[in-house]
C-alpha cells in the first residue's frame, strides 16, 4: 500500500483550523487563545526538530546516542511533572521523585518489552526503543502528575484530619491511607478509561499510524494491545512509586506531617 505524503499546504490548512478555534476563544472570551497558539507553535517546532534528530538516530543506531536521547526524554518528562503541580516538593526532592518514579517504571517495562516480547536485535534499535519509551513516558508522566498534584493538595487541605489521626496513635501510613489511595486512583483512571474505550470509542494513535502506514490491521491491533498493557503497567507502577515516595517525604522520622517541604506555585 502506497503511503500518501502530506504537503506543506495540508499542514497549513490544519493550522488554519486551529487559528479559527483560537479566534472563537477570543470572541467568547475564554482566554485560551494565547496558550492554544503558543502550544501549537511549540508542538510544531518540537516535532520538526525531533523528526530531524530521529532521522539521524535511526541511521546510526548507536547505543550511546539512544541512551542520551532516552535520558533527555526522562529529564524533560520529570520537569513537566513537577511543573504541573500547584503544590510541589521544594528543592531537588520534587524533581527526583518525578524522574525516579518514571525511571523505575517506564524504563523497566520498555526494556522488558524490547528484550522479551518484541525481541528486536539489538534490543536498543531506535526504531523500536524510542517510540516505545516515548509512549510509556508520556502516559506515565500524565498519571504521575495527576496523582502527585492531588496528593500534595489533599495533604495540605486535610492536614488537620491527618494530624488528628497521628495524635490518636495511627502511623503515617494509616493516617494518610485513604488520601493516598484516592490519589492513586486519580493517576490510574485515565489509562483504565483508555483501555476500556479502545476499539469501540476510539482507535489509538499507534494503531492508526500503522494502518495509515500500510500495515495489516491485525498486526496493528496486536501491537496496540501490547502497548496498552505496557502503558497501563508503567503508569500504574509509576503512580505507586511516586505516591509512596512523596508521602514518605511529607512525614519526618517521628511520623509528623511536615508541610514545610511543600512550595506553592502562584
Query: Which sequence spans correspond to the domains of the chain?
Result: 1-60, 62-264
**Residue of 195 and 37 predicted with greater confidence:** 37
Q: What is the pLDDT of residue 202?
A: 67
CB atoms within 10 A of CB 169: 8
| 147, 107 contact by CB (below 8 A) | no
- Residue range 43-69: average pLDDT? 87
**Residue of 207 and 253 predicted with greater confidence:** 253
CB atoms within 10 A of CB 167: 9
Q: How far is CA 216 from CA 4, 131, 132, 209, in A?
A: 16, 19, 19, 11
**Residue of 89 and 178 predicted with greater confidence:** 178
Query: Residue for cell digits 509528623?
Result: 256
**SS3 assignment, position 243:** helix
- Residue range 142-153: average pLDDT? 92
For 87, the enclosing helix (H) or strand (E) is strand 87-89
Cell numbers given for 203: 482507535
Q: Is the pLDDT of residue 203 over 70?
A: no
**SS3 assignment, position 264:** strand
Q: What is the pLDDT of residue 261?
A: 66
Q: What is the pLDDT of residue 144?
A: 92
- Measured distance CA(266)–CA(254) in Å, rounded: 31
Q: What is the pLDDT of residues 169-202, one digit of tens each?
A: 899 999 999 999 999 999 999 989 888 887 776 6
| 212, 3 contact by CB (below 8 A) | yes
Q: Is the pLDDT of residue 249 over 70?
A: yes
Q: What is the pLDDT of residues 114-130, one digit of tens each?
A: 999 888 888 888 888 98
Amino acid at each position: 500500500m502506497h503511503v500518501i505524503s502530506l504537503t506543506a499546504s495540508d499542514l497549513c490548512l490544519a493550522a488554519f483550523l486551529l487559528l479559527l478555534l483560537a479566534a472563537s476563544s477570543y470572541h467568547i472570551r475564554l482566554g485560551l487563545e494565547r496558550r492554544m497558539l503558543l502550544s501549537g507553535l511549540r508542538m510544531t517546532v518540537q516535532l520538526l526538530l525531533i523528526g530531524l534528530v530521529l532521522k539521524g538516530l535511526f541511521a546510526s543506531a548507536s547505543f550511546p546516542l539512544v541512551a542520551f536521547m532516552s535520558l533527555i526524554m526522562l529529564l524533560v518528562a520529570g520537569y513537566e511533572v513537577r511543573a504541573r503541580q500547584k503544590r510541589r516538593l521544594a528543592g531537588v526532592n520534587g524533581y527526583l521523585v518525578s524522574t525516579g518514579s518514571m525511571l523505575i517504571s517506564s524504563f523497566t517495562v520498555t526494556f522488558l518489552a524490547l528484550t522479551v516480547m518484541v525481541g528486536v536485535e539489538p534490543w536498543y534499535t531506535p526504531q523500536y526503543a524510542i517510540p516505545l519509551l516515548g509512549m510509556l513516558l508520556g502516559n506515565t508522566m500524565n498519571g504521575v502528575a495527576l496523582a502527585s498534584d492531588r496528593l500534595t493538595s489533599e495533604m495540605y487541605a486535610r492536614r488537620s484530619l491527618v494530624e488528628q489521626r497521628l495524635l490518636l496513635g495511627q502511623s503515617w501510613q494509616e493516617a494518610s491511607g485513604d488520601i493516598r489511595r484516592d490519589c492513586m486512583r486519580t493517576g490510574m483512571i485515565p489509562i483504565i478509561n483508555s483501555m476500556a474505550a479502545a476499539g469501540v470509542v476510539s482507535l489509538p494513535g499507534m494503531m492508526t499510524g500503522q494502518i495509515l502506514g500500510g500495515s495489516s490491521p491485525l498486526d496493528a491491533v496486536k501491537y496496540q494491545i501490547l502497548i496498552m498493557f505496557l502503558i497501563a503497567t508503567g503508569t500504574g507502577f509509576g503512580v505507586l512509586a511516586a505516591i509512596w515516595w512523596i508521602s514518605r517525604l511529607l512525614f519526618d522520622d517521628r511520623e509528623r506531617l511536615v508541610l514545610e517541604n511543600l512550595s506553592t506555585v502562584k
